[in-house]
Amino acid sequence: MTDSLGRIGAIAARIVRQFRRDPRTIALVFLAPALVMTLLGYVITEKTTPVTLGYADLDEGVLLGGTALRLGPLLRDLLADEGLEVRDYADAARLETDVRQADLRAAVIVPPDFTARVLAGEGFEGLRLLLEGSDPVLSADVARRFGAAVQALPRAALARLQTTAQPGVPPEVPADPTRLAPPGQPAVEYAHGGPDLGTLSYFAPGYVAFFAFFFTFLLTSVSFLRERSSGTMERLLASPVRRGEIVLGYLLGFGLFALLQSLIILLYAVYVLGVELAGSLASAFAVEALLVAVAVLMGIFFSFYARNEFQVIQFIPIVIIPQVVLSGFLTPLETMHEALRWLAHAMPMTYANRALRAVMIRGWDLGTVTADLAALAGFVLLFTALASRMIKRQVA
C-alpha cells in the first residue's frame, strides 16, 4: 500500500516537474483563459455604442384646452432614454432612402395624425419602425428598445396632459384616460440574477468548465502519447508499477495543474472582470475538480487513438467542440432537439455546466446538484476503467 502510494506520488511529482520545465505551457494554461475571458468580456458586453436612429417627426399634434399636445417629441425623448441616439430628419423620404442604403441601421417615422389617433384610442397605427435588417441581433435589440419606448408612451402622455392642463379649464380629453393609459404593465421579477446579470456572468460558469476541460484533456493526451512514443511507457510497464497507479499518478499530477488553473480563472473572473458569483467559490471548485478528473482520464483514453501530436489536435473537433455546442454552454438544453438532448446527456461537460450554473449564478449549495455530481463521478469511474484497459492492451 505504501509502495503503491509512493509510486503514484513518483508519477505525479514527475509530471509536475516536467510542467515546470515548460514555462510556455504553464503560461498558456494559466494566462490564456484570463486573456480570452477578458476579450470575450469586451466583445459580449452590453454597453455597446448606441445605435443611431433616424427620426422623422411629422406629427401635427392636437389642441387640447388651448394647449397643443404633440406626442412625437415625447416618443423621441423615450427612445433616447432607451439608449438610442436619435438623429432628426425633416424629410421622411430621405430617411427611408438612408436606411435602404444602409447609411442608417434604423428609423422611426411618426405620421402627421399620430397624436390624434392615439388620443382617439386607435393606438399607434401609422407609426413605423424601419430596420436596415442585415444584422438580426442588432435589429432585435433596436426593436426591443423601440417596443419599450412605445409601451411607456401612454403613461408619459397622460403625465404631460395633467401638467399642461390649465387650471379651471378641464382638459377636453376626447377619450377616457383609461383607454389612453393601458392597464398596468406586467411586473417582471427575477428569481436569480436579475436584469443586471451581465452576459459574461451568465457565460462564466461555462467558460470555467470549458477551459479546464480543454487544456487538461489536450495536455494529458499529448503527455500520455509521448509516454508511448518515447518508449518510457515500456519502462513503466516493465517496472512494478500497476496500471491503476499510472492512471492515478496522472490524475494527481495533471489534476493539480488543472485545479490551479480553475482557481485562477475563477478568481480572475470574479475579482478582475467583475463576474457575479452568487454561490461559494469552494462549491464551484468542487465541481471543477470532478470535471478535471474526467478530462485527465478521457485524455489518457483518447491518447491511445492518436499516433502523434497532430492527431491529438484532431480530437478538438471530435471530443471538445461537440461538448461545447451541446452542453448547454451556448444554448439552453431545453431548446434543443430531443435527439441532441440525449447526446448532450452523454457528455460530462453538460453536467458540469449545469452544476456550475446552479452553484455560481443561483448560489445553491452542492446538495442541490448531487445528481450532476453523481453523473460526473460516474464518468470518472467509467474512464478510469477504460483508461486502465487501454494500458493493459498495450501489454499485448
Q: Which residues bind other proteins (CB under 8 A)?
A: 3, 6-7, 9-11, 13-14, 17-18, 21-22, 230-232, 234-242, 395-396
3 or 91: CB nearest other proteins: 3
199 or 230: CB nearest other proteins: 230
- As measured in angstroms, the least distance from the Cβ of 318 to other proteins is 27
| Pick from 206, 48, 272: nearest CA to 140 | 48
239 or 368: CB nearest other proteins: 239
- As measured in angstroms, the least distance from the Cβ of 234 to other proteins is 6
- Using the structure block, give the residue that is written with the C-alpha cell 384616460: 177
Residue 127, CA distances (Å) to 254, 294, 379 in order:
62, 57, 57
- As measured in angstroms, the least distance from the Cβ of 134 to other proteins is 52
CA 386, CA 326: separation in Å to the nearest integer? Answer: 23
- As measured in angstroms, the least distance from the Cβ of 17 to other proteins is 6
- As measured in angstroms, the least distance from the Cβ of 33 to other proteins is 24
11 or 74: CB nearest other proteins: 11
10 or 93: CB nearest other proteins: 10
Residue 329 — φ and ψ, nearest 5°? Answer: -70, -45
What strands lie across the sheet with 85-89, from one edge to the other? 85-89, 52-57, 106-110, 128-131
CA 47, CA 26: separation in Å to the nearest integer? Answer: 33
7 or 354: CB nearest other proteins: 7
230 or 308: CB nearest other proteins: 230
Residue 388, CA distances (Å) to 50, 251, 384 in order:
57, 12, 6
Amino acid 191 reads: A
- As measured in angstroms, the least distance from the Cβ of 32 to other proteins is 21
221 or 327: CB nearest other proteins: 221
- As measured in angstroms, the least distance from the Cβ of 298 to other proteins is 23
Record the cell numbers describing residue 80, joined without a space. 433616447
- Using the structure block, give the residue that is written with the C-alpha cell 499529448: 222
- As measured in angstroms, the least distance from the Cβ of 18 to other proteins is 5
